[in-house]
Every structure is written in C-alpha cells, then in structure tokens.
Chain A
Amino acid sequence: MISKKNMRLVTILAAIVLGMFAFGFALVPIYNSLCKTLGINGKTNATAIAYDPNKVKVAVDREVTVEFITTNNAGLSWPFYPKTRKIKIHPGKMATLVFYAENNTDHLMTVQAIPSVTPGIAAKYLKKTECFCFARQTLNAHEAMDMPLLFHLDPALPDEIKTITLAYTLFDVTSHT
C-alpha cells in the first residue's frame, strides 16, 4: 500500500521523533552535569568536602560578609532560623554555624533543606564540610534541634564578591518517606 520510498522516509522521520522524545529526557542529566561542572546554578556541594587546614591558605587580607536566610516552603510553619545571621570571615578559614529547627506539630515530620547562593557565581567557592542539608532530618512531635553547618570559602573567590547570601528553604518531605 505505502510505497517503498515513503516507507523509508517515514521510518527515518519516526526515528527522529523517538530520538527527540528521548533527548527531552536526556536534557535532565545534561543540564544537571553542565550546571554542576560549571557551578552556575547557585547550588552548593551536596556531599561533604574535607577541610584540610594545612592545605588551604587563609586570605587574611580579605574579609567577606556571609549572610544567612531561612524560608519555610508553603505548608510548613516550623520555627527555623540561623542562630547567627551574619558573619565576616577570611576566605580559607573554617566557619561553624548553628541553625535552629523545631517541629511544632503533633506528629513526626521529615524535612529537607535546599540551599541557594547569591550571587550564583559564588556557589562553587562555598565549600561545606558539614551541613544539615546533606540529609533529610526527621523530628518527633515538638522536638527541637540545633543543626550544624561547617563551611569555608575557597580563597580563589573572585575579588569583586564582598557579600554572599546563603539561603535555605525547608521543604516538608514527610509524604516522600
């Protein structure tokens, strides 16, 4: 019924369609690895980076202000805030912070904090050795917790960056667990 010429062409075109459908999904890992390699999506490292005080040279002549912001995602009403809102540190020096979170509901809940850095370009210079955002946190009803954050700034941080804002958004992921 369909001529050979048409059949051949339709097969090629159908293959392009299937290929593009697959490409749509392939875009997910492509974007992820591109953003990660180039450090352009404002996200910080999701697993710990070891801090070796002997290897990192502290830039004592520079000081960078780091501000901390917390937000609850929609539907969550926990008290969640940084105990220190603003610090000044030398790049290369380790800083230790504490974030407070309290489950003020009557049931067990699991949350996940997602970091974001402004300006986005600073994200890849902000290196965390420990962070409550590396894993989900489960708190019992009315349980409170001090959550640690240990990080240092890479001394390679561009000179024009004087202030960095590190924002955490807390997501309720109880239903995902």
Chain B
Amino acid sequence: MSETLVHGDEHEAHGPEQGKGILGFIKRWLFTTNHKDIGTLYLLIALASFFLAGAMALLIRVELFQPGHRFVDPNLFNQMTTFHGLIMLFGVVMPAFTGLANWQIPMMIGAPDMALPRLNNWSFWILPFAFSLLLSTLFHKGGGPNFGWTMYAPLSTTYAPPSTDFMIFSVHMLGISSIMGSINIIATILNMRAPGMTMMKMPIFVWTWLITAFLLIAIMPVLAGAVTMMLADRHFGTSFFEAAGGGDPILFQHIFWFFGHPEVYVLILPAFGVISEIIPTFSRKPLFGYSFMVYATVSIALMSFIVWVHHMFTTGVPLGAELFFMYTTMLIAVPTGIKVFNWVATMFKGAMTFETPMLFAAAFVFLFTIGGFTGLMLALVPADYQYQDTYFVVGHFHYVLVPGVIFSLLGAVYYWLPKWTGHMYNEALGKWHFWLSAISVNITFFPMHFLGLAGMPRRIPDYALQFTNFNVIISIGAFVFGFSQLLFLVNVIKTIRGGKKATARVWEGAHGLEWTLPSPPPYHSFVTPPKID
C-alpha cells in the first residue's frame, strides 16, 4: 500500500556479534534479540515440526492403508492422531506465522526491530522446552496423551494416562509463549510504525496479524484455564467435568470450543494476509478493496466468538441454540466471501505470471474455498447430525488447513526467501514441489468427504471393508504429498547456501517497504525511519 520515496542510509552495517567456537554460536542464538534471528528460529522450529507431525500423519495412513489391525497398536494410533493435531497447530502453523511476523512486520512498517526484543527472545525459547515436555510423554510408561487434540473430558481426566499432566504444563508454556509473542506484535504494530504509516496504509499482512494477535491474547488464557481445570479434576478432587461431583463433561466442550473456534481463525487470518500480499504482486495490480479486506478480517474475528456451539450440535443443546449458532456460522461466510471475491477481482485483468508463490496463492484461493463450502454444509444442523465425527469433518478441516494454511506458508516462504537470504530459489524445483503437492493434496483429502458421507468414523484405527478402496487412494496421496515436501526442504537449504543473487525488489510487481531494503536486508534495518508517501 505504501511507497518509500527516500529512506535514510543505514548506519554502518554490522552483522550479529558472535563469539568463538560452539559456545559463541550457542550464545549468539540463545541470547539474540534481533527480530530477523528470532524469525529464523521460529521458522526453523516450524519446519522441523512440520516433518515430525507429517511423519505421524503418515504412520496413521500406513495403519489405514488396509482394514484390520496392521502395523501399529491402537493406543499408538490414538497418540499419533493426538500429536499430529497438537504439533501441527502449536508446533507448525503458529510458530511459522510468528516467524513470518518477526521477519516481516518490522520491515513492512519501517521499524528497526520488534517493540520488546527481550520478550521476543523469551517467547521463542520457551517453545523448545514446551515441545520437549510434550514429546517426552510418548516415552512415558502408559504412553502419551491419546484422546485427540481436543482433549475432551472425561477421556483427558478420568481415563487419561499419567503423562497427561506433562501435556497440560506443555500447553501452559505454549500459551505463555504465544501470548507474549502476541503482546509484542501488537506493541510493534501500534507503537513502532514509521511516520506517515497510518493504520489504513499498513500492508494487509500486518493488519491480519494485528487482529490475530488480539484473538490470541483473548483465547489462549481461556485454554490455559480449561487445562488447569483438567489438572484440578485429575489431582485436586474438584469436579468441573465430572457428573458424579456435580460437574458436567459437556462444560469442557463449551470452554474448549470457546477457545477452539477463534483458534481456527488464528490459523487462517495470517494466511489470508499472506495471500493478500502475494496475489497483487504477481497480478501487478494493487489489492482490490483494501479497506473491505480489513473490515472483513475484523468482522470474522469478532464473529468467531459467537459460533462455538457448531462443534457440539449433537451434544443435546436446545433447538434455539442450534438455530442461533447455525445462523451465526453461516454469517461468517459473508466476510470470507468478500475476501475470496477481492482476491479474484485482484487477479481479474491483471498481468499475471505464475511463479511458485503465485501458484500456491492461486491454489489457495480455489482449494480453501472448497474447504469453506464443506464448512457451510457442516454448519447446517440437520446435515451436521450425519457428518458429525465422520471423515467428512476430517476432509473439511484438512482442506482449509493444508491447501489453505500450509499452502499459504509455503507460498510465503517462496515469496520472501529471496529477500531473507539474498538468493533466488530454484524455480523449476519450486514448480515441481507445487504441482506434486497440489495434485497429491487433492488425492489425499478429497476422497475423505465420500468416506465421511458413507459413514466412516474418524479417529479409529480400523474400518469396514467397503471403505478400503478410498483409504488406499488416500494413503497413496498422503505419501506422495509427504515426500514432495522434501523437495521444499532441499530447495530451502540450497537457497540458504547459495544461488542466483536476488535484487532488492526481487519481484517485478512487488510493492512495500521490505522491498526497498537490499536482499538480504542488513542485520539492523530501518534504524532511521523511512519516509512514507
């Protein structure tokens, strides 16, 4: 949205201070307060988690390749569904977007760094400890948590393995980390913008992150409260979720989804921001309806707080509540539709080229919309009674999360990697990665809808014989998708190590402050605030 005319020359460029040897290396990364360093750390932990949680998904698909108990023990299967969900959410998508925020937000708004650099360091370094705690449960006696990422009581209280307490504390730590990260992002955006960068001139990615950060500070404490109640029920004799003591297991679902539904918008809103940056660049047109995009994002965020019961239509909630939550859920399709319309309108009559980031963005628009439509189907109360807890739901949310959120992340990395490293990635390899991913993602997740409609329940390590064909197809698709991601890994590593020099602007149609900096940007950028038109 904004153009720089001139920006002050950087102070004497100097890189990070690094001592000698391995100790110097550890200290440099452990004590760093530089937003670019911390952004890199976030992105690296997300990349590692992506392959870990992906491997878990493949283990699930191996078991489901054929009916009957084949490869893994059912308890391990349940642990894999739990961990795949938890790690993809808290270990991949959230850290990856926080990494993007760390790298990009200061550069996009012309700030020298994040507002609270030390807090930033702390937010990141909590994560490795939280994940160690979480993953250690897999090796505990009795196994790790096996009740799904939704942790429904009483599965997570009365019937849970002892290691659940480790998971609870890990969730607390993850919550603290993302709350601190969000506070930092809000402070940066509100207080650190370059002079002249008004709110309505901010790049849309910055806007979506500002709203996401507000969502996070509103909901992560509620999740912390929910798991604290779980802990109290498990050990301190309370009965929040136990009917025998006057509590109610359904209460857990209400509290959890009060967190859980806004959480899905925490995952998707920054993705919307990324797509809204990529599409204008490669369409060589400004974003269509910028202010509508901002208002649509705000209204999605506000509405996300009044739809949570659509996750629990079959729990016996009264008819009036079912109707209310059905209508509010369907209402969210309106601002989301505005967004999709604006992306398409941005592309309309644009001089489009299809480099890898644009391919991922275009696929996002199409495939995310499919996930949105199945979401609308699930919002209908009478239909939901049939779809509830089947593979239809699995198909729905993987469509919004994989070709939705994950594609936006992959697109974002291809889009900004030349800026970060100063090298162009390998375009041919990127295209291979895209086409293999785009085809296999559909082979993997599309048949899930049919299985769900035919009645295959989710989260069960076995299925009836008539579901075999589709499950074989899904497993093959999943393996192609999983191994295609290795191309991405190779491409990223190659780009970091070398490659064709990238120009400052990188993309012909790129606009925004970050493209006025050289590639790679100096360690300390915008020490003097840029002037904004």
Contact = CB atoms under 8 A, between A and B. Distances in A.
Interface of A: 2-3, 5-6, 9-10, 13-14, 16-18, 20-21, 23-25, 27-28, 31, 38, 40-42, 46, 73-74, 112, 114, 120-121, 169, 171-173, 176
B190 A31 contact: no
Contacts of B225: 21, 23-25, 27
A176 B222 CA distance: 28
B190 A121 contact: no
Contacts of B220: 17, 20
Interface of B: 115-116, 158, 179, 182-183, 186-187, 190-191, 217-226, 229, 237, 240, 243-246, 248, 250-251, 254-255, 258, 316-319, 321
Given A21-B224, A31-B251, A2 B116 contact: yes
5 contacts: A6-B191, A21-B225, A23-B221, A28-B251, A31-B254
Contact of B187 (A6, A114, A169, A172): A6
A6 B224 CA distance: 25
Contacts of A42: 316
Contacts of B190: 9
B183 A10 contact: yes
Majority SS at the chain B contact face = helix
A27 B245 CA distance: 18
A21 to B, nearest CB: 4
Contacts of A16: 217-218
Given A13-B183, A25-B225, A120 B244 contact: no
B244 A176 contact: yes
A28 B226 CA distance: 10
Majority SS at the chain A contact face = helix
B496 to A, nearest CB: 33
Nearest to A114: B243
A120 B318 contact: yes
A20 B244 contact: no
A9 B190 CA distance: 9
Contacts of B219: 20
Contact of A23 (B222, B251, B321): B222
Contacts of A112: 244-245
A175 B7 CA distance: 71
Given A6-B115, A28-B251, A31-B254, A18 B191 contact: no
A120 B222 contact: no
Contact of B240 (A9, A17, A28, A114): A28
A102 B187 CA distance: 64
A2 B237 CA distance: 43
Given A20-B219, A21-B221, A24-B255, A10 B187 contact: yes
Contacts of A21: 221-222, 224-225
Given A24-B225, A40-B321, A176-B244, 18 more contacts: A9-B190, A10-B116, A13-B187, A20-B219, A20-B222, A21-B224, A24-B221, A24-B224, A24-B226, A27-B258, A28-B255, A31-B248, A41-B248, A46-B246, A120-B316, A120-B318, A121-B318, A171-B243
B302 to A, nearest CB: 15
Given A28-B240, A114-B243, A14 B221 contact: no
Q: Which 7 A-B pairs have the closest CB atoms?
A: A24-B225, A171-B244, A21-B221, A20-B221, A24-B222, A40-B318, A114-B243
A171 B191 CA distance: 56
